[in-house]
Amino acid sequence: MTVSRDQRAIQVPASVDHLSEVRSFVRDCVAHFGGSQRVADDLVQAVDEATCNVMLHGYKGKPGDIDIEAALRDRKIEIRILDRSPTFDPTTAPAREPGSTPAPTRPGGMGLGIELLRSLTDEVHHSARPDGGNELTLVRAIDGPAQED
Amino acid sequence: MAMTIDVERLGGSPPVAVVALAGELDASNYEQVIDVVRGAYDEGARGLVIDLEQLTFMASSGLFALHSAVRIMRGETPPDPEEGWSALHQMAQDEDSRATSVRLAAAQEPIARVLDRTGMLRLFALDGSRADAIAALQGA
Protein backbone atom coordinates (compact mmCIF):
# COMPACT_ATOMS: atom_id res chain seq x y z
CA MET A 1 0.00 0.00 0.00
CA THR A 2 2.75 2.42 0.93
CA VAL A 3 4.46 3.64 -2.16
CA SER A 4 7.66 5.57 -1.81
CA ARG A 5 7.63 7.80 -4.79
CA ASP A 6 10.41 10.18 -4.09
CA GLN A 7 12.91 11.09 -1.42
CA ARG A 8 15.26 13.99 -0.96
CA ALA A 9 17.84 14.81 1.68
CA ILE A 10 20.13 17.56 2.88
CA GLN A 11 22.77 17.75 5.60
CA VAL A 12 23.64 21.01 7.36
CA PRO A 13 25.98 21.93 10.20
CA ALA A 14 24.22 22.65 13.51
CA SER A 15 24.44 26.42 13.20
CA VAL A 16 21.59 28.90 12.87
CA ASP A 17 23.41 30.39 9.88
CA HIS A 18 22.22 27.34 7.95
CA LEU A 19 18.50 27.67 8.70
CA SER A 20 17.83 29.51 5.46
CA GLU A 21 19.30 26.54 3.54
CA VAL A 22 16.95 24.26 5.45
CA ARG A 23 13.94 26.43 4.58
CA SER A 24 14.90 26.53 0.89
CA PHE A 25 15.22 22.76 0.91
CA VAL A 26 11.77 22.27 2.43
CA ARG A 27 10.18 24.77 0.07
CA ASP A 28 11.77 23.07 -2.95
CA CYS A 29 10.67 19.63 -1.76
CA VAL A 30 7.05 20.65 -1.22
CA ALA A 31 6.94 22.26 -4.66
CA HIS A 32 8.51 19.16 -6.21
CA PHE A 33 5.97 16.91 -4.48
CA GLY A 34 3.15 19.11 -5.74
CA GLY A 35 2.10 20.60 -2.42
CA SER A 36 0.29 23.91 -2.12
CA GLN A 37 1.82 27.20 -1.07
CA ARG A 38 -0.01 26.87 2.24
CA VAL A 39 1.47 23.44 2.91
CA ALA A 40 4.91 24.79 2.00
CA ASP A 41 4.55 27.77 4.35
CA ASP A 42 3.46 25.58 7.25
CA LEU A 43 6.15 22.96 6.76
CA VAL A 44 8.86 25.61 6.34
CA GLN A 45 7.74 27.15 9.65
CA ALA A 46 7.61 23.78 11.40
CA VAL A 47 10.95 22.49 10.14
CA ASP A 48 12.68 25.81 10.91
CA GLU A 49 11.33 25.64 14.44
CA ALA A 50 12.30 22.02 15.03
CA THR A 51 15.73 22.37 13.43
CA CYS A 52 16.48 25.58 15.29
CA ASN A 53 15.63 23.86 18.57
CA VAL A 54 18.08 21.07 17.78
CA MET A 55 20.79 23.60 16.92
CA LEU A 56 20.30 25.79 20.00
CA HIS A 57 19.23 23.30 22.63
CA GLY A 58 20.34 19.91 21.32
CA TYR A 59 23.87 20.68 20.21
CA LYS A 60 24.07 23.86 22.34
CA GLY A 61 26.60 25.47 20.05
CA LYS A 62 28.81 22.40 19.79
CA PRO A 63 29.71 21.24 16.30
CA GLY A 64 27.47 18.60 14.76
CA ASP A 65 25.36 17.79 11.74
CA ILE A 66 21.65 17.64 11.11
CA ASP A 67 20.19 15.49 8.35
CA ILE A 68 16.83 16.37 6.91
CA GLU A 69 14.98 13.93 4.69
CA ALA A 70 11.75 14.57 2.85
CA ALA A 71 9.56 11.95 1.23
CA LEU A 72 6.12 11.70 -0.29
CA ARG A 73 4.12 8.64 0.76
CA ASP A 74 0.42 8.07 0.22
CA ARG A 75 -0.19 11.76 -0.46
CA LYS A 76 1.56 12.70 2.76
CA ILE A 77 4.79 14.63 3.03
CA GLU A 78 7.06 13.18 5.69
CA ILE A 79 10.02 15.19 6.88
CA ARG A 80 12.54 13.55 9.18
CA ILE A 81 15.03 15.58 11.18
CA LEU A 82 17.96 13.50 12.41
CA ASP A 83 20.63 14.61 14.84
CA ARG A 84 23.28 13.25 17.17
CA SER A 85 22.54 15.47 20.15
CA PRO A 86 21.41 14.11 23.56
CA THR A 87 18.05 12.36 23.47
CA PHE A 88 15.13 14.70 23.92
CA ASP A 89 11.53 13.93 23.06
CA PRO A 90 9.60 17.16 22.52
CA THR A 91 6.33 15.26 22.13
CA THR A 92 6.39 14.33 25.82
CA ALA A 93 6.44 17.96 26.96
CA PRO A 94 3.62 18.19 29.50
CA ALA A 95 0.36 19.70 28.31
CA ARG A 96 -0.38 22.97 30.01
CA GLU A 97 -3.59 24.19 31.54
CA PRO A 98 -5.52 26.48 29.19
CA GLY A 99 -4.68 30.06 30.04
CA SER A 100 -1.65 29.16 32.12
CA THR A 101 1.82 30.39 31.42
CA PRO A 102 3.83 27.64 29.81
CA ALA A 103 7.35 26.97 30.91
CA PRO A 104 9.88 26.97 28.10
CA THR A 105 9.70 23.58 26.43
CA ARG A 106 13.29 22.85 27.44
CA PRO A 107 16.11 24.68 29.17
CA GLY A 108 16.78 27.84 27.28
CA GLY A 109 13.69 27.16 25.23
CA MET A 110 13.01 30.24 23.19
CA GLY A 111 11.06 28.27 20.64
CA LEU A 112 7.39 27.70 20.38
CA GLY A 113 8.09 24.05 20.61
CA ILE A 114 5.62 21.29 20.35
CA GLU A 115 2.47 23.40 20.36
CA LEU A 116 3.45 25.15 17.16
CA LEU A 117 4.73 21.97 15.52
CA ARG A 118 1.41 20.28 16.22
CA SER A 119 -0.58 23.18 14.86
CA LEU A 120 1.39 23.18 11.60
CA THR A 121 1.43 19.45 10.91
CA ASP A 122 -0.85 16.42 11.08
CA GLU A 123 1.53 14.20 13.03
CA VAL A 124 4.71 14.62 15.06
CA HIS A 125 6.72 11.56 16.09
CA HIS A 126 9.96 11.27 18.01
CA SER A 127 12.27 8.33 18.43
CA ALA A 128 15.69 7.96 19.96
CA ARG A 129 18.16 6.66 17.40
CA PRO A 130 19.63 3.32 18.46
CA ASP A 131 23.16 4.61 17.98
CA GLY A 132 22.52 7.98 19.64
CA GLY A 133 20.63 11.10 18.73
CA ASN A 134 17.07 11.92 17.79
CA GLU A 135 14.73 11.37 14.91
CA LEU A 136 11.79 13.74 14.70
CA THR A 137 9.22 13.08 11.98
CA LEU A 138 6.72 15.68 10.82
CA VAL A 139 3.85 14.53 8.61
CA ARG A 140 1.52 16.73 6.63
CA ALA A 141 -1.11 15.79 4.03
CA ILE A 142 -0.08 17.21 0.71
CA ASP A 143 -3.46 18.72 -0.05
CA GLY A 144 -5.34 20.31 2.79
CA PRO A 145 -4.67 22.26 5.92
CA ALA A 146 -3.29 20.64 9.04
CA GLN A 147 -6.38 21.72 10.91
CA GLU A 148 -9.03 24.35 11.11
CA ASP A 149 -8.01 27.98 11.17
CA MET B 1 17.97 34.64 2.11
CA ALA B 2 19.33 37.33 4.31
CA MET B 3 17.36 40.04 6.03
CA THR B 4 17.77 43.75 5.54
CA ILE B 5 16.62 46.41 7.97
CA ASP B 6 15.80 49.95 6.96
CA VAL B 7 15.16 52.60 9.60
CA GLU B 8 13.37 55.87 9.02
CA ARG B 9 13.00 58.48 11.76
CA LEU B 10 10.00 60.75 11.62
CA GLY B 11 9.34 63.95 13.50
CA GLY B 12 5.97 64.74 15.00
CA SER B 13 4.54 63.81 18.34
CA PRO B 14 5.52 61.38 19.53
CA PRO B 15 8.65 60.95 17.42
CA VAL B 16 8.21 57.71 15.48
CA ALA B 17 10.76 55.34 14.02
CA VAL B 18 9.75 53.05 11.18
CA VAL B 19 11.76 49.84 11.04
CA ALA B 20 11.19 48.05 7.73
CA LEU B 21 12.22 44.40 7.57
CA ALA B 22 12.83 42.63 4.27
CA GLY B 23 13.67 38.99 3.65
CA GLU B 24 13.64 36.30 6.32
CA LEU B 25 13.74 36.93 10.07
CA ASP B 26 15.11 33.94 11.96
CA ALA B 27 17.38 32.82 14.79
CA SER B 28 20.48 34.01 12.92
CA ASN B 29 19.44 37.66 12.71
CA TYR B 30 16.69 38.49 15.23
CA GLU B 31 19.18 40.23 17.51
CA GLN B 32 19.79 42.80 14.77
CA VAL B 33 16.16 43.85 15.06
CA ILE B 34 16.47 44.25 18.83
CA ASP B 35 19.64 46.33 18.38
CA VAL B 36 18.01 48.61 15.82
CA VAL B 37 14.98 49.19 18.05
CA ARG B 38 17.21 49.95 21.01
CA GLY B 39 19.11 52.45 18.87
CA ALA B 40 15.90 54.15 17.76
CA TYR B 41 14.66 54.40 21.36
CA ASP B 42 17.99 55.79 22.54
CA GLU B 43 17.78 58.44 19.83
CA GLY B 44 14.39 59.60 21.05
CA ALA B 45 11.76 57.57 19.21
CA ARG B 46 8.72 56.97 21.41
CA GLY B 47 6.56 55.30 18.81
CA LEU B 48 7.62 52.40 16.63
CA VAL B 49 6.21 50.97 13.43
CA ILE B 50 7.58 47.63 12.32
CA ASP B 51 6.87 47.43 8.60
CA LEU B 52 6.58 43.78 7.53
CA GLU B 53 5.58 44.33 3.91
CA GLN B 54 8.79 42.85 2.47
CA LEU B 55 9.25 40.16 5.10
CA THR B 56 8.66 36.67 3.73
CA PHE B 57 9.36 34.53 6.80
CA MET B 58 9.30 34.99 10.56
CA ALA B 59 10.56 32.30 12.94
CA SER B 60 9.67 32.20 16.62
CA SER B 61 12.91 34.07 17.32
CA GLY B 62 11.36 36.91 15.32
CA LEU B 63 8.36 36.88 17.64
CA PHE B 64 10.81 37.16 20.49
CA ALA B 65 12.36 40.21 18.81
CA LEU B 66 8.91 41.84 18.52
CA HIS B 67 8.30 41.22 22.19
CA SER B 68 11.68 42.72 23.02
CA ALA B 69 10.77 45.78 20.96
CA VAL B 70 7.70 46.36 23.14
CA ARG B 71 9.80 46.20 26.28
CA ILE B 72 12.44 48.54 24.88
CA MET B 73 9.87 51.12 23.77
CA ARG B 74 8.49 51.11 27.31
CA GLY B 75 11.94 51.92 28.62
CA GLU B 76 12.27 48.44 30.10
CA THR B 77 15.02 45.91 29.79
CA PRO B 78 14.26 43.39 27.06
CA PRO B 79 13.72 39.84 28.29
CA ASP B 80 16.47 37.32 28.52
CA PRO B 81 16.28 34.92 25.55
CA GLU B 82 16.47 32.12 28.12
CA GLU B 83 13.06 33.15 29.40
CA GLY B 84 11.70 34.73 26.32
CA TRP B 85 8.93 32.46 25.29
CA SER B 86 7.50 32.14 28.75
CA ALA B 87 7.49 35.91 29.18
CA LEU B 88 5.94 36.34 25.77
CA HIS B 89 3.06 34.04 26.56
CA GLN B 90 2.50 35.90 29.78
CA MET B 91 2.26 39.17 27.89
CA ALA B 92 0.00 37.82 25.20
CA GLN B 93 -2.43 36.65 27.85
CA ASP B 94 -2.48 39.93 29.71
CA GLU B 95 -4.78 42.44 28.06
CA ASP B 96 -3.17 45.29 29.97
CA SER B 97 0.13 44.58 28.28
CA ARG B 98 -1.18 45.28 24.79
CA ALA B 99 1.42 47.40 23.07
CA THR B 100 0.45 51.03 22.69
CA SER B 101 3.67 52.44 21.27
CA VAL B 102 4.53 49.65 18.84
CA ARG B 103 2.42 48.78 15.80
CA LEU B 104 2.97 46.23 13.06
CA ALA B 105 2.16 47.06 9.47
CA ALA B 106 1.49 45.32 6.16
CA ALA B 107 2.23 41.71 7.10
CA GLN B 108 2.04 39.17 4.28
CA GLU B 109 -0.37 36.29 4.78
CA PRO B 110 2.08 33.69 6.14
CA ILE B 111 3.45 36.22 8.62
CA ALA B 112 -0.01 37.32 9.69
CA ARG B 113 -0.89 33.65 10.19
CA VAL B 114 2.05 32.97 12.49
CA LEU B 115 1.28 36.13 14.47
CA ASP B 116 -2.29 34.96 14.87
CA ARG B 117 -1.47 31.34 15.72
CA THR B 118 0.89 32.39 18.48
CA GLY B 119 -1.46 34.89 20.10
CA MET B 120 0.66 37.88 19.08
CA LEU B 121 -2.26 39.69 17.51
CA ARG B 122 -3.72 40.09 20.98
CA LEU B 123 -0.56 41.95 21.87
CA PHE B 124 0.00 44.03 18.73
CA ALA B 125 -2.19 46.06 16.46
CA LEU B 126 -1.58 45.06 12.86
CA ASP B 127 -2.32 47.85 10.39
CA GLY B 128 -2.80 47.49 6.67
CA SER B 129 -0.09 49.97 5.80
CA ARG B 130 2.84 51.84 7.23
CA ALA B 131 0.95 55.11 6.81
CA ASP B 132 -2.01 53.79 8.81
CA ALA B 133 0.29 52.67 11.60
CA ILE B 134 2.06 56.04 11.76
CA ALA B 135 -1.27 57.84 11.81
CA ALA B 136 -2.52 55.63 14.63
CA LEU B 137 0.57 56.36 16.73
CA GLN B 138 0.55 60.09 16.13
CA GLY B 139 -3.21 60.50 16.24
CA ALA B 140 -3.20 62.23 12.86
What are the backbone angles phi and psi of residue A148, rounded to the nearest 5°?
-60, 160
Residue pairs between chains A and B whose CB atoms are closer than 8 Å: 75
Q: How sure is the predictor about A103, in pLDDT bands with cuts at 50, 70 and 90? A: very low
Mutation target among A110, A117, A120, A147 for the B interface, most CBs of B within 10 A: A110
- The nearest CA of chain B is from the CA of A17 a distance in Å of 6
**β-strand pairing of B16-25 with B3-10:** antiparallel
Contact B110 A45 (CB under 8 A): yes
Please choose, from the candidates B111, B97, B98, B103, the residue with its C-alpha nearest in 3D space to the C-alpha of residue B135.
Answer: B103
Per-residue confidence band for A147, with pLDDT thresholds at 50, 70 and 90: low
Mean pLDDT of A47-60: 92
Q: Tell me, what's the pLDDT at B67?
A: 86
Question: Which of A48, A99, A110 minimises the CB distance to B81?
Answer: A110
Closest CA to A29 of A9, A4, A5: A9
Q: B92 to chain A: nearest residue by CA?
A: A101
Q: Could B27 and A55 be called an inter-chain contact, meaning their C-beta atoms sit closer than 8 Å?
A: yes
**Could you state, in chain order, the average pLDDT of each consecutive group of 10 residues for chain B (140 residues)?**
93 95 96 96 97 96 90 83 60 64 95 88 91 92
Cα Rg of chain A (Å, integer):
15
pLDDT tens-digit map of A58-91: 998 899 999 999 999 999 999 999 999 999 888 8
Are B117 and A119 an interchain contact pair (Cβ–Cβ within 8 Å)?
yes
Q: Residue A19: count other Cβ atoms within 10 Å of its Cβ.
A: 24
- B16 burial (CB, 10 Å; 0-12 / 13-18 / 19+) is buried
Output A105 or A112, whichever has higher pLDDT: A112
pLDDT for res A32: 95
pTM of the model: 0.88
Are residues B83 and A19, on separate chains, in Cβ contact within 8 Å?
no
Tell me the C-alpha distance between A67 and A55, whole Å.
Answer: 12
Q: How far, in Å, CA of A112 to CA of A53, rounded? A: 9
> In this predicted structure, what is the pLDDT of residue B86?
60
Domains and CATH numbers, chain B: 3-138 (3.30.750.24)
The structural domains of chain A, ordered by start, are 8-90+112-141 (3.30.565.10)
ipTM > 0.85, yes or no: yes
Mean pLDDT across A113-136:
91
A15, A49, A97, A112: best mutation site toward chain B, by most B Cβ within 10 Å?
A112
CA dihedral angle for residue B113, residue A14, residue B27, residue A26, rounded to 10 degrees:
-30
Q: CA A112, CA A116: separation in Å to the nearest integer?
A: 6
B30, B62 Cβ separation under 8 angstroms? yes
